[in-house]
Amino acid sequence: MIKRIAALVKKEFLIIWRDPKSRMLIVLPPLMQLFIFAYAMTMEIKNIDVAVLDRCNSYESRELISRFQNSKWFRKFTFVNNEKEVKENIETQKAQIALEINSDFSSNIKRGKSADVQVITDGRQTNTAAIAGSYAANIISEYSGEFEKGKKSRIDMRIRSWYNPNLEYLYYTLASLVVLLAMVITLLLTSMSIARERELGTFDQLIVSPCTPFEILLGKTIAPMGVAMCLSAFMALIAVFYFKMPFRGSILLYFISTIAALLSITGVGLFISAISKTQQQAILGAFTFQTPASLLSGFISPIEDMPKVFQYITLIDPLRYYMIIGKGIFFKGMEFWDVAANTIPLIIIALITLGGAMWLFKRQLD
């Protein structure tokens, strides 16, 4: 069995290396893109969740918090008791920003001194962090201007962006592109594998060969996975060493999660290939999947800003989980349990998609 699978893998590598570019026919994808773009792609930042650490608990601090609560930009407020809870809310993305008010906030205002307020933003989402920080600055500035002692008393606000302190948009783009391009490469290679056999007339030779359906699919999985893994590693190295993007996480966790993500996408590609009769149909099917998957992954706009129905749809999008893992490992050194929480859904999606491709392939052979 190992020899048969090795022969199939070698054959797939040779085909992938020698296969010319296929032309793409576009019929359904533009309609789907129009629908998805209209609802999912928005650059307006709203429904921002806030973690509040109010050490003062005074009339002045509660009044400031109420200004945020009455703003149309902020949605859910979680009141925490210490710095650890603030960190947990930002790390797990339960809050996009955090508001910290010192215990001497009220007394400093009454004495005409500077009152400190710290706003913490999540620098992993550069656009969200910048805009949310701007919203907070405007609210605090307006509140500060209403004091009777405005000439002497003021609020000194300090904004800090965690995980991406300088809000380098290039870092955010690179981390996302490594994930997106790995998905595109894997999807295109696997979606054309079986369809190519049909188009070239070699599918019947596979059927009469001593290889079982499982061995055939395994051979068609290993080659694209190997190519995609090598390219993913190469792109990550370019991002780290050429663009100087920080890599704070575990290399082992990154590659394990990448394997799980690519397996889930491979299952989708093989399923598309099994129902396609030509390579053009396979490419069209891959494009039909990858565009909504990219839009719903949270790359362009936060998932929290999408309509509820689209938020539920993202739960079956493997790119959503892979995007969280990629940015989390690059930017903040995501730990094992956080990586596992997003890798398990990828494994489940992989089992379902690969199982569906196997069932469909066997059905066609019968």
Q: Which among 176, 85, 86, 87 is positioned nearest to 125, based on CA atoms?
A: 176
- 32 in helix, strand or coil? helix
Please compute the mean of the pLDDT values over residues 11-40 and round it to a whole number: 56
User: What whole-number distance in Å separates Cα of residue 118 and Cα of residue 131?
Assistant: 16
pLDDT tens track for 246-273: 888 888 999 999 999 988 998 888 888 8
Q: Which of 84-93, 94-103, 145-154, 258-267 has the lowest mean pLDDT?
A: 145-154
User: What whole-number distance in Å separates Cα of residue 324 and Cα of residue 175?
Assistant: 10
User: What whole-number distance in Å separates Cα of residue 135 and Cα of residue 340?
Assistant: 34
Q: Does residue 187 have a pLDDT over 50?
A: yes
Tokens representing 68? 């945020």
| Tally of residues, the chain | 366
What pLDDT score was predicted for residue 229? 85
End-to-end, the C-alpha distance of the chain in Å comes to 21
| Radius of gyration (C-alpha) of the chain in whole angstroms | 25
CA 135 to chain centre: 25
| Residue pair 182/236 in contact by the 8 Å Cβ criterion | no
